[in-house]
Amino acid sequence: MTTESPRWLKSSYSGNGGNCIEVATNLVATHDTVPVRDSKNPSGPVLELPATAFAAFINGVKPNAVTS
């Protein structure tokens, strides 16, 4: 992990379902990375994705997003 602390965010669409991830987009500008973790296990492993890969993932799932 980088020396700068990630500021973790969870989607407002998450509700209380428990199957959520958290992302830290504050590291994109300085490290070009988006850390991702399981919100149920905040002290567990962190997956660091290149910002371009994370953006491609988001663009790929947006059309298939489930809405309530």
Kindly list the domain boundaries of the chain, sorted by start residue. 9-53
- The pLDDT value recorded for residue 61 is 82
pTM for the full predicted model: 0.75
Beta pairing partners, 33: 50
Closest CA relative to residue 32, chosen from 51, 46, 48: 51
- The pLDDT value recorded for residue 6 is 93
- Strands (E) located in the chain: 9-10, 21-23, 33-38, 47-50
Closest CA relative to residue 35, chosen from 67, 64, 6: 6
Q: Running along the chain, 68 residues long, what does each successive block of 10 average in pLDDT?
A: 79 74 92 93 94 91 63
Neighbouring C-beta atoms of residue 11, cutoff 10 Å: 11
